[in-house]
Amino acid sequence: MTSGAHVIVGASLAGARAAQTLREEGFDGPVVLIGQESERPYERPPLSKGYLLGKDPREKIYVHPQEWYAEHGIDLRLGTAVVSIAPDAHQVTLTDGIRLDYAKLLLATGSQPRRLTVPGADLEGVCYLRRVEDSDRLREAFRPAAAVVIIGGGWIGLETAAAARTAGAEVTVLEAAELPLLGPLGRECAQVFADLHREHGVDLRCGARVEAITGAAGRADGVRLADGTRIEADVIVVGVGITPDTALARAAGLAVDNGIVTDASLCTSEADIHAAGDVANAYHPLLERHLRVEHWANALNQPQTAAKAMLGQNAEFDRLPYFFTDQYDLGMEYTGYVDPAGHDRVVFRGDPATREFIAFWLAGNRVLAGMNVNIWDVTDPIQALVRSGTPIDPHKLADPDVPLETLLTA
C-alpha cells in the first residue's frame, strides 16, 4: 500500500508531464503513474503524422527515456488499470485488486475513439487510430496500390489520408458533411483542405452516408453507402471523433458534463482530485466558459497547472487552445477558440487559393482565433491579438504590409 502518494491515472503525455512537474516543483513524496498500455508514456500526434509516415523513429514518440522514471522516483505501473475510486477513503483499486491510498489524485484518462455502429463494423480490417499499435498496423497496410477507405474527414482522417497517399495507396475519404472540417473551419478554409486532398489524388466523397461494412470470411472488403454504391477496400480506417473517458469519474460521483468538470486550477468537484488533458472540461478564465480541448497542447500544458495546484500552489490554466497539422506540403497552426455560431466574419491575410495565408475569425472586430497556413513565426502575435480582446481594424488585419505586432499599438 502506498500511503500519501500523488497518484496519476493515465500514463500518456498528460500523466507523464504531471509527474515531471511534481518533481520539478520539489515534491519528493511517492508518485505513482498508472497506465493500461504496456508502452511507457508517448505522444499521440506522431501516430498520424511523422511516425505513421515512417519519417520519425519509434524512440521519438516517447515523452521520456525509459530510465527517466526510475531516476526520478516515479513508480510507473504499466499494463494495469484503475477500476474504481473511493474519494472518501482516498483510495484507488487496480485490476489486480491492489488498493492504493492517495493524498492527491490526477485523472488523465484521455479519450476513446467513437465506434462505428453500422453492420460489419466489427469485421477484421476495420481500424481506428489511437494507440501506437494502431499506427504500426496502418504503416504496414499503407502500401502502393492498396485500397484504403477512410470514414470521416476530420483532422485524424485527413492526416491519415495524406500518409496513405504518400505511401502510394489509393485513398477514398468518406465525409458526411458538405466539406471536410466544415464545422471547425467554415466553408472557405474547409475548401482549402478539400482541394488539397483532391489535388493529391484522394477520392473525396462529401455528403456520403455509410450504410454497412461488407466482408467475407470475417474480414472487411468494402464499404456500402446509402445510395447503394460499394467501394472496395483492403483496409478501412474510422475517424469519426473521440469521446472523453469519464467512466471512472462518473462512478466515483464526480461532476461530469462533456468530460470531467473542473475549475481553472483543474480541480474537480472533489477537492483532492484533479483532471487534465482530453478528459477535462475546464473553466477557462480568459474565455469565461468551460472548455474541453482534444489537442496535444492541452495534454502538454494542462498537467503543469494541475500538478502545481495539487501541491497547493495558486495556479490557473489560461493558455489559449492551440493545434497544428501537417498534410503533404501544407503546414498549419491554429490558435484561439471559436464557437461555430460565435463569430460574424473571417478575414484573410493572403489568398487561401495559394495555401499561404492567415485566417482570422472575428466578432465585433475582436479577433477570436487565427490560423496560419504555410506562414510561420506568427503564433505569438496572433495569441496577443486574441488575448487582448481589443477591436482591430479589419482592413489592417488583412494587409500583409502591416506587421501583426503593430496592430495593438496602432
Would you give per-residue pLDDT tens digits along the chain (410 residues)? 334 799 999 999 999 999 999 999 999 999 999 999 999 999 999 999 999 999 999 999 999 999 999 999 999 999 999 999 999 999 999 999 999 999 999 999 999 999 999 999 999 999 999 999 999 999 999 999 999 999 999 999 999 999 999 999 999 999 999 999 999 999 999 999 999 999 999 999 999 999 999 999 999 999 999 999 999 999 999 999 999 999 999 999 999 999 999 999 999 999 999 999 999 999 999 999 999 999 999 999 999 999 999 999 999 999 999 999 999 999 999 999 998 788 999 999 999 999 999 999 999 999 999 999 999 999 999 999 999 999 999 999 999 999 999 999 86
User: Which regions of 125-259 does DSSP assign to beta strands (E)?
Assistant: 126-128, 147-151, 170-175, 203-206, 210-216, 219-225, 230-232, 235-238, 242-244
pLDDT of amino acid 3: 45
Cβ atoms within 10 Å of 203's Cβ, excluding its own = 14
Q: Which grid cell is 96?
A: 489486480
b/e per residue 244-263 (b: at least 16 CB within 10 A)? bbbebbeebebebeebbbbb
Query: 138: part of which helix (H) or strand (E)?
Result: helix 132-141
Q: How far apart are alpha carbons 94 and 92 in whole angstroms? A: 7
pLDDT of amino acid 410: 62
Q: How far apart are alpha carbons 318 and 307 in whole angstroms? A: 15
> In a 10 Å sphere around its CB, with 0-12 CB exposed, 13-18 middle and 19+ buried, how is residue 274 labelled?
buried
Paired sense of beta strands 210-216 and 170-175, if any? unpaired
> In a 10 Å sphere around its CB, with 0-12 CB exposed, 13-18 middle and 19+ buried, how is residue 332 labelled?
buried
Q: Provide the β-strand partners of residue 326.
A: 331
Strand, coil or helix: 171: strand
pLDDT of amino acid 381: 97
Q: Which grid cell is 48?
A: 498520424
pLDDT of amino acid 340: 77
Q: How far apart are alpha carbons 324 and 341 in whole angstroms? A: 22
pTM above 0.75, yes or no: yes
pLDDT of amino acid 260: 98
Gyration radius of the chain over CA positions: 22
C-alpha distance from residue 72 to each of 26, 28, 79, 276 (Å): 11, 9, 20, 21
pLDDT of amino acid 341: 80
pLDDT of amino acid 279: 98
Paired sense of beta strands 82-86 and 91-94, if any? antiparallel
Q: Which grid cell is 125?
A: 480490417
- Helix, strand, coil share of the chain (percent; to 5): 30, 30, 40
141 in Cβ contact with 42 (< 8 Å): no
Q: Provide the β-strand partners of residue 94.
A: 82
123 in Cβ contact with 219 (< 8 Å): yes
pLDDT of amino acid 1: 33
245 in Cβ contact with 112 (< 8 Å): yes
Give first-to-last CA distance, the chain, whole Å: 62
CA dihedral (386, 266, 332, 327) in degrees, to 10, reads -160
User: Which regions of 273-389 does DSSP assign to beta strands (E)?
Assistant: 273-275, 280-284, 289-291, 322-327, 330-336, 345-349, 357-363, 366-373
Paired sense of beta strands 289-291 and 322-327, if any? unpaired
